[in-house]
């Protein structure tokens, strides 16, 4: 199909939407290392995992051989309320940059959670409901995951307990209020509601919390009550499975319009968006059917891929979760206070970590003032005010497009625009006022945090 026929926005028809998720692990020669029991240092069994997660999700977590898994009809129906998401041709950005590159972005922000997180939230809530549970517990940092889960639970009639990192709870009262509008119980973490929360409060009375700490509280709240399970919005392989819907739609749209991506870019915090976006393309690469350059973009203030270690580590501060082999900065690592937005997790998806370790993905880190400058430029040119997280991918997409301008190459760049920044205006205000700063952790800081890795390695 000729270039000219590509519209600004490609929406698939409802019947072109994926009917199965794609499990990239099935095509990986080197599988991600198994989750380990933190007490026994032995691979987690499905029985053990089912104490924390719904049984069906535990099974998905352990399944590294089935390439395609059916999307249940109820989830497909929910997807139809806000999907397919558009694959957008950034005609205006290309023109403004004067680049010969063709730039596309898969925009996941057109739903009230404001991000791609809803794709996995509805799946996890669905399996909880199917198992007859009363509700689910989770943590949220920037708030997108908590909002997504609240929406999914409201839709299905499930209880939803969200432990929200205290500094976010205080700085983002409107995020909290969206969750409450959807009927969720939102607790600032660390809290007095859990033993692990009380312990952390005792040890660090002034703490404003961390993602790792909120995870510990949510896991405790799930495992110590009848009828609850814990759900997580990133990092896990099951989440990447659900998020493959992003990549599958992108691939169908590309194939339909004869678009052949050279470079695929995603921001990476826990890896949910990046993994979901690239999965089906990575499958083609792993099967030798096509080649792509994949770029993971992470904040310079929380550089797990580019400066972390590939090792077993705790997923949470309380050390109650299974151990996972991943690129990590150490479970005690907390990005500096001036870091805005999400992408603040100390570790990384096991799948993404293994692919990166195998040299199948590149990674770069970028500083936040340059990220917000890219975000502002993008907003003014393309009309969408992006989330700080998504803007990491924008920054590198623009960099790559400018390289194409220098070399006069007509590369096709696809990036994931994971969400909108409507609840991140405090950070934008800092940037607009010229008060935003950068911080890059020192080697000593990272080494100190890595020194506390568990002994299993």
380, 407, 447, 457: residue in contact with its own copies (rule CB under 8 A): 380
Q: Does 7 bind its own copies (CB under 8 A)?
A: yes
* Shortest distance (Å) from residue 22 CB to its own copies: 23
Those residues whose C-beta lies under 8 Å from the C-beta of residue 271, and which sit 6 or more positions away, are: 234, 235, 240, 296, 348, 349, 351, 352, 353
Q: Which of 115, 101, 108, 114 minimizes the C-alpha distance to 87?
A: 108
What's the token pair of residue 2? 């000729």
* Shortest distance (Å) from residue 386 CB to its own copies: 9
What's the token pair of residue 41? 């240092």
Q: Does 425 bind its own copies (CB under 8 A)?
A: yes
**Nearer CB in complex with its own copies: 204/422:** 422
Distance (Å, whole) CA 158 – CA 137: 10
* Shortest distance (Å) from residue 251 CB to its own copies: 20
Q: Which x/- pattern over 32-71 shows residues binding its own copies (rule: CB under 8 A)?
A: ----------------------------------------
Distance (Å, whole) CA 143 – CA 163: 10
b (16+ CB within 10 A) / e for 324-339? bbbbbbbbbbbbeeeb
Q: Does 452 bind its own copies (CB under 8 A)?
A: no
Q: Does 182 bind its own copies (CB under 8 A)?
A: yes
Q: Does 359 bind its own copies (CB under 8 A)?
A: no
429, 437, 440, 456: residue in contact with its own copies (rule CB under 8 A): 429
Which neighbouring-strand residues pair with 419? 115
Q: Does 145 bind its own copies (CB under 8 A)?
A: no
Q: Which stretch binds its own copies (CB under 8 A): 177-185, 334-342, 356-364, 404-412?
A: 177-185
Q: Which of 178, 168, 175 minimizes the C-alpha distance to 209?
A: 168
Distance (Å, whole) CA 302 – CA 439: 9
Size of site (CB under 8 A) for its own copies: 44
* Shortest distance (Å) from residue 111 CB to its own copies: 6
92, 167, 286, 402: residue in contact with its own copies (rule CB under 8 A): 92
Q: Does 170 bind its own copies (CB under 8 A)?
A: no
**Nearer CB in complex with its own copies: 138/420:** 420
Distance (Å, whole) CA 94 – CA 102: 7
The answer to whether 352 and 367 are in contact (CB under 8 A) is: no
- Which DSSP category does 4 fall into? G
* Shortest distance (Å) from residue 377 CB to its own copies: 10
Coil, strand or helix at 294: strand
Q: Does 173 bind its own copies (CB under 8 A)?
A: yes
Q: How many whole angstroms from its chain centre is CA 274?
A: 7
155, 223, 284, 369: residue in contact with its own copies (rule CB under 8 A): 155
What's the token pair of residue 361? 């993905």
Q: Does 178 bind its own copies (CB under 8 A)?
A: yes
Q: Which stretch binds its own copies (CB under 8 A): 23-31, 175-183, 271-279, 314-322?
A: 175-183
Q: Does 19 bind its own copies (CB under 8 A)?
A: no
Distance (Å, whole) CA 296 – CA 294: 7
Q: Does 387 bind its own copies (CB under 8 A)?
A: no
């Amino acid at each position: 199909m000729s270039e000219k026929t590509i519209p600004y926005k490609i929406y698939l028809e409802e019947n072109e939407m994926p009917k199965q998720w794609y499990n990239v692990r099935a095509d990986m020669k080197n599988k991600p290392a198994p989750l380990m029991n933190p007490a026994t240092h032995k691979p987690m069994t499905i029985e053990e995992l089912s104490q924390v997660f719904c049984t069906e999700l535990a099974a998905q977590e352990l399944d590294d051989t089935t390439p395609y898994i059916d999307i249940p009809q109820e989830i497909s129906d929910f997807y139809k309320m806000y999907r397919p998401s558009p694959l957008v041709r950034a005609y205006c950005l290309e023109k403004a940059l004067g680049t010969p590159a063709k730039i596309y972005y898969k925009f996941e922000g057109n739903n009230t959670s404001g991000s791609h997180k809803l794709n996995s939230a509805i799946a996890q809530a669905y399996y909880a409901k199917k198992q007859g549970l009363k509700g689910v517990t989770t943590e949220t940092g920037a708030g997108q995951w908590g909002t997504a889960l609240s929406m999914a639970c409201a839709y299905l009639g499930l209880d939803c307990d969200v432990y929200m990192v205290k500094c976010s709870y205080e700085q983002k009262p409107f995020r909290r209020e969206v969750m409450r509008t959807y009927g969720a119980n939102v607790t600032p973490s660390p809290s007095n509601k859990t033993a692990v929360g009380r312990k952390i409060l005792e040890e660090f009375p002034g703490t404003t919390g961390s993602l790792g700490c909120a995870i510990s509280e949510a896991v405790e709240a799930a495992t110590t009550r009848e009828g609850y399970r814990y759900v997580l919005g990133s990092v896990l392989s099951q989440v990447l499975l659900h998020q493959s819907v992003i990549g599958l739609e992108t691939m169908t749209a590309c194939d339909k319009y004869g678009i052949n991506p050279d470079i695929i870019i995603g921001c990476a915090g826990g890896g949910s968006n990046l993994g979901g976006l690239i999965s089906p393309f990575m499958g083609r690469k792993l099967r030798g059917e096509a080649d792509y350059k994949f770029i993971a973009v992470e904040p310079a203030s929380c550089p797990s891929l580019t400066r972390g270690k590939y090792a077993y580590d705790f997923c949470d501060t309380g050390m109650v979760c299974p151990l996972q082999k991943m690129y990590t900065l150490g479970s005690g690592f907390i990005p500096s206070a001036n870091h805005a937005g999400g992408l603040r997790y100390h570790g990384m998806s096991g799948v993404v970590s293994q692919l990166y370790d195998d040299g199948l993905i590149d990674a770069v880190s970028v500083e936040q003032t340059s990220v917000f400058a890219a975000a502002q430029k993008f907003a003014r040119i393309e009309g969408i005010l992006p989330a700080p997280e998504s803007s990491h991918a924008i920054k590198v997409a623009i960099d790559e497009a400018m390289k194409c301008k220098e070399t006069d190459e007509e590369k096709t760049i696809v990036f994931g625009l994971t969400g909108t920044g409507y609840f991140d205006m405090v950070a934008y205000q800092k940037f607009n006022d010229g008060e935003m700063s950068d911080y890059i952790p020192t080697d000593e800081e990272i080494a100190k945090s890595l020194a506390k890795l568990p002994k299993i390695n």
